[in-house]
C-alpha cells in the first residue's frame, strides 16, 4: 500500500510540472489564428505534412494581437517535418500562417521555468 501511495504522489508531481496546452491550430491553407494569451516561457510546436516531398511550404509569423504588430517570423520551411521554438515573452498573440500544398498543426504549450531550463533547441 505504501509503494502505491508513493507512486501516486510521484505521478501527481510529474503532472503538476507538465506543459499546459494553450491552443492548437490545424489547417491546409493561409490563415490568421485566433488570439491566444501566454506567459513566459512557452513553446510553439509545429508539424508540416503533405502529399508531395518537395512542393510543400510553411511560414509562421508571430503577431501582437492588440496592435497587429509583426513580432517576427517563427518559421519558414519547404520540407515536411516538425520542430519546436521556445519563447520567453508574455503577451496576447496571433499567428499568421501561410502554406502551400501542406497540412499543418501548431500547438502552443505553456511551460514552467524548470521545463524551459531543460529545453534544448535542435
User: Can you give the CATH number for the domain in which 96 is found?
Assistant: 2.60.120.380
Task: Please tell me the predicted confidence (pLDDT) of residue 17.
Answer: 52
Tell me if 12 is assigned to some domain.
Answer: no
> Would 103 be classed as within a structural domain?
yes
Mean pLDDT, consecutive 10-residue stretches, the chain (122 aa), reads: 42 55 96 98 97 92 97 96 96 97 97 90 64
Q: Is residue 8 part of a domain?
A: no
CB 41 within 8 A of CB 87: yes
Q: What is the pLDDT, as a whole number, of residue 34?
A: 98
Question: Which pLDDT does position 1 carry in this prediction?
Answer: 53
Give me the pLDDT at residue 20, please: 96
Residue 121 lies in a domain: no
Strand-pairing partners, residue 32, are 96
Range of the domain at 79: 21-111
6 falls within a domain: no
Q: State how many domains the chain has.
A: 1
Per-residue pLDDT, 6: 39
What pLDDT was estimated at residue 122?
Answer: 60
Does residue 7 fall inside a structural domain? no
- Burial label, 38 (beta-carbon count in 10 A; 0-12, 13-18, 19+): buried
Amino acid at each position: 500500500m505504501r509503494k502505491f501511495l508513493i507512486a501516486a504522489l510521484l505521478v501527481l508531481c510529474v503532472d503538476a510540472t507538465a506543459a499546459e496546452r494553450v491552443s492548437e491550430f490545424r489547417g491546409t491553407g493561409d490563415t490568421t489564428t485566433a488570439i491566444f494569451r501566454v506567459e513566459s516561457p512557452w513553446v510553439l510546436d509545429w508539424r508540416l505534412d503533405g502529399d508531395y516531398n518537395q512542393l510543400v511550404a510553411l511560414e509562421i509569423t508571430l503577431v501582437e494581437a492588440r496592435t497587429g504588430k509583426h513580432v517576427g517570423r517563427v518559421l519558414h520551411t519547404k520540407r515536411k517535418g516538425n520542430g519546436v521554438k521556445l519563447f520567453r515573452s508574455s503577451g496576447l498573440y496571433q499567428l499568421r500562417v501561410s502554406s502551400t500544398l501542406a497540412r499543418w498543426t501548431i500547438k502552443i504549450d505553456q511551460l514552467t521555468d524548470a521545463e524551459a531550463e531543460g529545453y534544448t533547441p535542435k
